[in-house]
Amino acid sequence: MVAASSPVRVAACDCLTPFGDARATVAALLRGERALRPVPVRGVEGGDAVPLALLPGRALDETAPPAWLAPLRQLLAPVIAEGWGTARRPVCIASSNFGVGSIYAFRRGHGDAHRATGTPHDCVAWLRREFGWGENVATFSHACVTAHLALLHGARLVQAGGAEAALVFAFDFLSPFVAGGFHALKILNAEFPAPYQARATGAIGLGDGAAYAVLARGVGDFALAAHAVHNEMHHFTANQADGAGFDRVLAALPADGRRLWLKGHGTGTLDAGRLESAALARRFPGAPLVGWKGALGHTLGSCGLVELALALAAVRAGRTPGTVGAASPTFTPEVALAAFDNAAFDGVLCASNAFGGAHAALLLAHA
């Protein structure tokens, strides 16, 4: 595990979900709303209906060029004209899908135009051109901890890599490729997710998501106070049965008397949810734990930054949304099903997990 003490601050941060920006999404979560809807897993080609949260008006099937460019441009509008993509102002991109929905569409005979955004580098090059970014772009891809790694690297660039500021940008948009894959793994099924709820069957939902954070020194009222990562490398999809991987990543984070609330990964699978909630309760006894993927679905490689933006918006709103979609009994008593006031807390721990037993966590605190 690695604990990196970081004075790097969050100068700007926002996200995009089917509910809108971070503020609108937190408001919807506080109302207990769910963006997940039953959608045929293979889009126009049909299949079982599974819970997906797509941006308003966006179909699961990819268009050429991808229809999510316009909402991304709107998300990035406050920071897009700031000369990103140089060594002094680098961009760190996080995604697990990039344009793989375009490769799927190409394979299914929907036209050669889809090839232009298919590979990760072609997709990033296209975004760079569209957003006017230079060539200094680091592209990370490590499934569901990707955004944490991009944030960690962005912080290092500002601390020691000669950057005055770093733009960390994460995005993942659904397609039949990824929905079909998780459906084949049987964790995306007809059930809606209920994170941290002790029930007979586990299930996840998937969601469109994107987010950005500008990291800089001395600008912004919140800091990424610490990062931690750990990779079990025990099994491709399962965690170590004793939860040791969750314990190791959390042990690397300083608690130092802070009163925290916890934003967990909480996809809705049973084993991982049980292990994660138990490890969090061991490390931070009594700290309330929430997960938002029961409402938004799992936004995959972008989730770490999407949910960081939501945590930040929740702190600014003074109220933390509860674990929408879940009900009693929960795996641990710390799971907060209802919203709560957060003014008395000193910070937020944000955690994510991924295939291969990859674990990542960061501490968001007042600067």
Task: Name the residue nearer to another protein (CB basis): 5 or 74.
Answer: 5
State both tokens at 19. Answer: 């509910």
| 140 lies in the binding site for another protein (CB under 8 A) | yes
At 3, is the secondary structure helix, strand, or coil?
Answer: strand
| 47 lies in the binding site for another protein (CB under 8 A) | yes
- The stretch among 31-39, 40-48, 197-205, 254-262 that binds another protein (CB under 8 A) is 40-48
Q: CA-based Rg of the chain, rounded to a whole angstrom?
A: 19
| 231 lies in the binding site for another protein (CB under 8 A) | yes
Least Å distance between CB 46 and another protein? Answer: 9
Least Å distance between CB 22 and another protein? Answer: 27
Question: For residue 64, how many C-alpha atoms fall within 13 Å in the half-sphere facing its CB?
Answer: 16
Instruction: Return all residues near 170 (Cβ < 8 A) that are at least 6 apart.
Output: 93, 94, 95, 146, 147, 150, 209, 210, 211, 212, 301, 302, 304, 305, 306
Least Å distance between CB 339 and another protein? Answer: 34
Which runs of E-coded beta strand occur in the chain? 2-5, 9-16, 37-40, 49-53, 91-94, 137-140, 165-172, 206-207, 209-216, 222-231, 260-263, 289-290, 319-320, 340-341, 347-354, 358-366
Instruction: Return all residues near 331 (Cβ < 8 A) that are at least 6 apart.
Output: 196, 197, 198, 273, 274, 277, 278
Task: Name the residue nearer to another protein (CB basis): 96 or 197.
Answer: 96
Least Å distance between CB 84 and another protein? Answer: 12
Task: Name the residue nearer to another protein (CB basis): 87 or 338.
Answer: 87
| 121 lies in the binding site for another protein (CB under 8 A) | yes
| 160 lies in the binding site for another protein (CB under 8 A) | yes
Least Å distance between CB 293 and another protein? Answer: 18
Name the amino acid, one letter, at 321.
P
Contacts (CB under 8 A) with another protein, residues 233-262:
233-237, 245
Least Å distance between CB 148 and another protein? Answer: 11
| 320 lies in the binding site for another protein (CB under 8 A) | no
In the list 103, 167, 226, 295, the residue contacting another protein (rule: CB under 8 A) is: 103
Least Å distance between CB 244 and another protein? Answer: 9
- At 12, give phi and psi (nearest 5°): -160, 150
Q: How far is Cα 316 from Cα 15, in angstroms, rounded to an integer?
A: 15
CA 303 to chain CA mean position, Å:
1
By the 10 Å C-beta count (0-12 exposed, 13-18 middle, 19+ buried), 5 is classed as exposed
Least Å distance between CB 76 and another protein? Answer: 19
Site string for another protein, 171-190 (x = CB under 8 A): -----xx--xxxxxxx----
Binding site for another protein (CB under 8 A): 1-2, 4, 42, 45, 47, 85-88, 90, 96, 98, 103-104, 106-108, 115, 118-122, 124-125, 134-143, 149, 153, 156-157, 160-162, 176-177, 180-186, 229-237, 245, 355-356, 358
